[in-house]
Structure 1
Amino acid sequence: MLRSFQVSNHGSLAQAQQLRLSRGAGGPVSVPVTAVHGVAAAGKTSLIDALAQMRDAVLHSVSGWDPYAGPVRRPHLGFADRPSEFVAGFIAEGVPYTYGFRLDNADVIAEWLHTHPRSRKRIVFERTGDQIKIGPMFEAARYGVAALVPLVRPNALLLSLAGQLYAEALVPAYRWFAANLQVQQGAVDTAALALDLGSHISRSPDNAARLLMLLRTADLGIEDLLVAEPDPMYADYLRDLDTEIAALATRLDHGGADPILLERELSTLRAARDALYRRMVDRRGVGLGLVHEGIDVAFELADESTATRSLLRVLPAMLEALDTGQVLAVDDLGAGLPVEETDRLVQLFQNPETNARGAQLIYTTANRTLIDRGNGRSQRRRCAVWQLRREQGVSELTPL
């Protein structure tokens, strides 16, 4: 669950802007849908990109950033010398956390992780420059955090290093970014889209049936989805992983002995399954085809319209979020689609029957009609609505 997100000096978001996703003033219950409206160039993409940047920094600052360069960031061009800051408030494994970091052009100048049990702040760690303080409630030697401190590069995050080396005290926060936050933005890449669709469909017949039902409802003329059978070299391994994932999910649904450990094992198995499927696709391709009404020859993704590819891209991510209780952030949701169809996608998150695991959808749109429909007005308890305005090159986020 994501409760709040704050960013400053990223893209057009020059000053500190906070997106709150919980009801009331800092309430513990987050709404399932958060809509952000703004006209073209208002800063919507900068907001979603800031979430993506924070996630990427946590997961890849150690292994993906150049160790001899400054941190990867995208400051406002008018304030390139000022630091950028990212702060997220979220709940991981039942515990409220606040995590944030501040970057300049050379180093990570600050980083902190706090927990908030029973609304009382406890410091896990606080970093200022090259000084790292471990909170008194977390025995650094026992959890291995102290051993990592000398290994942290000035331009990398401690949480990134601790997550990859499995320092127990920091694992829940790291895993939240790795397994509970998805971000979709930018142009649709056909190869990546085929990989996501093929992987989602191949996991179970139920996935394929549900996806096909939603596509038929969208009235795009798509009658069926065809995916090649798994490569025999990988088929048995994929089948075994799918069986194990289904068994663990059933145990979790029926109240397993230790739900936190079950959740961790489930996310690990799902990641292993995705990596194995990707390796198979690299070897022989996805073999994906779309059957249209009245046409005998199956379409390839490249033959589909931009709007159809946009819907095909977001549907697997939405269904995955609903199945696992993830946070999904989408830039320009429903671009090119009728408002009614985009509204149906939003309602999947608003409806407690289709969103039984507490998934959250954050989306941006330039279409005020979508905001003014029932998902944004008559059901305020199920949706928070924000607006982005841009004046003199600087974007400001306000509740609507």
Structure 2
Amino acid sequence: MLRSFQVTNHGSLAEAQQLRLAKGAGGPLAVPVTAVYGVAAAGKTSVIDALAQMRDAVLNSVSGWDPYAGPVRRPHLGFADRPTEFVAGFVAEGVPYTYGFRLDNADVVAEWLYTHPRSRKRIVFERRGDEVKIGPMFEAARYGVSALAPLLRPNALLLSLAGQLYAEALVPAYRWFAANLAVQQGDIDTDALAHDLGSHISRSPDNAARLLMLLRTADLGIEDLLVAAHDPMYADYLRDMDAEIAVLAGHLDHPEQILVERELSTVRAARDALYRRMVDRRGAALSLVHEGIDVPFELADESTATRSLLRVLPAMLEALDTGQVLAVDDLGVGLPVEETDRLVQLFQNPETNSRGAQLIYTTADRALIDRGNGRSQRTRTAVWQVRRARGASELTPW
């Protein structure tokens, strides 16, 4: 669950801008759908890109950033010398957290992680430059984090290092970014699209059936999906991992639910990596059958609208199955507003969104916003608006 997100000096967002995604006293209830509306070039993409940048920093600052350069950031061009800051409030393994960090052109200036049991702030750690302070309630974590501190580069995040080296006290927050936050933005080539589709379909017959049902109801003329059988070199391993995933998924109500969820996300990630190796070796071999046409279509032959739908559906179904937060830039581009609205309703409907998944999307289509807000107070979309003012973007509630 994502409760709030704040960003300062990223893209077109110069001053601090906050997106709130929870409602009620103390914000305990997640809003299932949040729309960010604005005209072209207002700065909507900067909001989604900021989420992607924060996630990338947590997962890759240690292993993916140049150790001899400054932190990876994209400040407003008018304020390139000012720090960039990201702060997220979220719930991981049943515990509310606030995590944030501040970057300048050379180093990680500051980084902090707090928990909020019973609405009381407790420091997990605070970092200022080279100094790391462990909160008094987390003395048990002191040895593990202190052992990591000498290994930490000035341009890398402590949470990134702690998560990769499995410092127990920090793992829940790290895993939230790794397993519970997904971001879709920018163009996607047909090879990546085929990989995502094939991977989703191959995990379960139910996945293929749901995906095909949604494609048929979209009135795009699609009758069937054709996917080649698994490469024999990988088939047995994938089958065994799918069986293990099914067993773990059936034990999510176990008293040790947190440990089951950790193991499940680990096995899923390993399964995805194995599938990716198979696809790299021989391709995804995926095509679509259209009504009245004997020859299957390759993905490159499909319309922009069809590819747009094929791109977002697997990510949405994964989010609904696992309770993820999914952020999508320009949702439904190229699709009729009625079809895009049906996608949004998957998250608004408690029957299709039983695990508390959240959808955050940007749009320039006022008709989509108006449709979403014509519903009951319980299922309506929370809408935020982005406007340009004096060369920078501002985010305000609708």
With the length of structure 1 as denominator, give the TM-score of the two structures.
Answer: 0.98
**Amino acid paired to 1:380:** Q
The 2-side partners of 1:52 and 1:104 are apart by 18
Residue in 2 aligned with 1:380?
A: 377
Q: Does 1:308 align with 2:306?
A: yes
Residue in 2 aligned with 1:202?
A: 202
**Amino acid paired to 2:239:** R
Residue in 2 aligned with 1:296?
A: 294
* 3-state DSSP of counterpart to 1:138: helix
Q: Does 1:60 align with 2:60?
A: yes
> Cα offset for 1:378?
2.9
Residue in 1 aligned with 2:18?
A: 18
Residues 142-153 of structure 1 mapped to structure 2, 5 A cutoff: 144-153=144-153
Question: Contact 1:181/1:327 (CA < 8 Å) preserved in 2?
Answer: yes
Residues 166-315 of structure 1 mapped to structure 2, 5 A cutoff: 166-252=166-252, 255-315=253-313
The 2-side partners of 1:188 and 1:26 are apart by 39
Residue 51 to residue 316, structure 1, CA distance change in 2 (3 Å):
same
Q: Does 1:358 align with 2:356?
A: yes
The 2-side partners of 1:94 and 1:143 are apart by 25
> Cα offset for 1:188?
2.0
> Cα offset for 1:306?
1.2
* 3-state DSSP of counterpart to 2:67: coil
Question: Contact 1:99/1:112 (CA < 8 Å) preserved in 2?
Answer: yes
> Cα offset for 1:246?
0.5
> Cα offset for 1:184?
0.1
Residues 25-40 of structure 1 mapped to structure 2, 5 A cutoff: 26-40=26-40
> Cα offset for 1:256?
1.1
Residues 313-392 of structure 1 mapped to structure 2, 5 A cutoff: 313-373=311-371, 375-382=372-379, 383-392=381-390
Residue 101 to residue 204, structure 1, CA distance change in 2 (3 Å):
same
> Cα offset for 1:61?
0.1
* 3-state DSSP of counterpart to 2:250: helix
> Cα offset for 1:397?
0.4
Question: Contact 1:188/1:309 (CA < 8 Å) preserved in 2?
Answer: no
Question: Contact 2:386/2:393 (CA < 8 Å) preserved in 1?
Answer: yes
The 1-side partners of 2:165 and 2:291 are apart by 51
Question: Contact 2:141/2:169 (CA < 8 Å) preserved in 1?
Answer: no
> Cα offset for 1:143?
5.7
Question: Contact 1:332/1:363 (CA < 8 Å) preserved in 2?
Answer: yes
Residue in 2 aligned with 1:4?
A: 4
Runs of 4+ in 1 over 6 A off after TM superposition: none
The 1-side partners of 2:291 and 2:207 are apart by 21
Question: Contact 2:113/2:123 (CA < 8 Å) preserved in 1?
Answer: yes
> Cα offset for 1:145?
1.0
The 2-side partners of 1:289 and 1:26 are apart by 48
The 1-side partners of 2:65 and 2:335 are apart by 37
* 3-state DSSP of counterpart to 1:81: coil
The 1-side partners of 2:237 and 2:343 are apart by 33
Residue in 1 aligned with 2:393?
A: 395
* 3-state DSSP of counterpart to 1:196: helix
**Count of matched residue pairs:** 397
> Cα offset for 1:376?
2.5
**Amino acid paired to 1:171:** V
Question: Contact 2:141/2:168 (CA < 8 Å) preserved in 1?
Answer: no
Residue in 2 aligned with 1:72?
A: 72
* 3-state DSSP of counterpart to 2:267: helix
Question: Contact 1:97/1:116 (CA < 8 Å) preserved in 2?
Answer: yes
RMSD, aligned CA: 1.0
* 3-state DSSP of counterpart to 1:210: helix
**Amino acid paired to 1:122:** R
Question: Contact 1:86/1:101 (CA < 8 Å) preserved in 2?
Answer: yes
List per-residue Cα deviations over 1:358-392 (Å, max 9, x = no partner): 0000000000000001x224333332111000122
Q: Which residues of structure 2 form unaligned runs of 5+?
A: none
The 1-side partners of 2:234 and 2:292 are apart by 35
Residue 123 to residue 129, structure 1, CA distance change in 2 (3 Å):
same
Q: Does 1:137 align with 2:153?
A: no
> Cα offset for 1:146?
1.1
* 3-state DSSP of counterpart to 2:15: coil
* 3-state DSSP of counterpart to 1:147: helix
With the length of structure 2 as denominator, give the TM-score of the two structures.
Answer: 0.98
> Cα offset for 1:158?
0.1
**Amino acid paired to 2:377:** R
Residue in 2 aligned with 1:117?
A: 117
The 1-side partners of 2:77 and 2:206 are apart by 48
The 2-side partners of 1:227 and 1:90 are apart by 37
Q: Which residues of structure 1 form unaligned runs of 5+?
A: none
Give the share of equivalent positions with the same residue, in percent. 85
The 2-side partners of 1:379 and 1:170 are apart by 39
